[in-house]
Structure 1
């Protein structure tokens, strides 16, 4: 019987393994990715990253496809117990990922931020600093934050994806 399983792959080989396994008949592959802005080389850039680095999901019959999957280049192992029995991934987890997928990427709704909300910067040059939302900027992708960790309070304009409510 075909069920969903999690496969541990070499870091950075998620796409290659997904392509190889998709070419095999009767194996369905889910390689969830996200898009986000990241501060790289002194600029904000849009990047594509795996939602779960080094892991992909496959719907297969373990008795029939185990050998094919196990010896695919880039695969380390099927996630399972010490005896080698792979764990099944519950269908509600797969459904959740498929429901949130748009154009091949997982999209999470950004929480509503209002003036006065306490936030923490999650990435970029102000990583780890706390602040307070002053106001949301147009086109609703940026917020003005008053950083309160510094002795001198600083107003900073940040992309909305970089801040999280505390």
Structure 2
């Protein structure tokens, strides 16, 4: 059933997703407080490898920093507690009218986040295969990470070992 098939009053009675803006660096707090009040919340997050204190660690980051989605029924749910919930700045609206988010968009985001593979975590000395660029198909030895998205590799070219820097997405672990 599509929105055109439903009358305006029936459409308003259906639960819809809305966008909530959280206060700076308080999206997790806002999501937790809204869930504790009984609201259905979707805060899309993903895993990424970061360098913390000289070590590579997996951290969870927000897909949309300072924003989350909340499922509400237009004329049934109590919207007033949203304003005073810790961590919540406002319900995103155009004029005075909050704009509902299409369910298909939320499902697409859920699917994409669920399909994510964990970031490639490598250790010095591991063998990798180059899968993109002019050296595609060659094997190399991983040396170190250079920044967040690049790696330094050691490959053998013309009977010499050569240091090569490539994007992290251009290699894969062998085996």
Q: Name stretches of at least 5 consecutive residues in structure 1 with no aligned partner.
A: 118-131, 147-152
SS at match of 2:25: coil
Which residue matches 2:6? Answer: none
**Alignment partner of 1:80 is 2:89:** no
TM-score (norm 2): 0.60
Q: Which residue of 2 aligns with 1:99?
A: 111
Distance in 2 (CA, whole Å) between partners of 1:85 and 1:38 is: 39
TM score, norm. by length of structure 1: 0.63
One of 116, 119, 122 as aligned partner of 2:133: 116
Structure 2 residue matching 1:100: 3-state secondary structure: helix
- Specify which of 29, 40, 55 is matched with residue 16 of structure 1: 29
Q: RMSD value over aligned CA atoms?
A: 3.6
For 1:13 and 1:74, locate their aligned partners in 2 and report how far apart those are by CA, in whole Å: 5
State yes or no: 1:67 paired with 2:91: no
Asked which structure has the greater CA Rg, the reply is: 2
In the TM superposition, what is the alpha-carbon distance from 1:45 to its structure 2 partner?
2.4
**Which residue is equivalent to 1:4?**
17
Q: Which residue matches 1:46?
A: 58
Counterpart-to-counterpart distance in 1, 2:102 and 2:79: 19
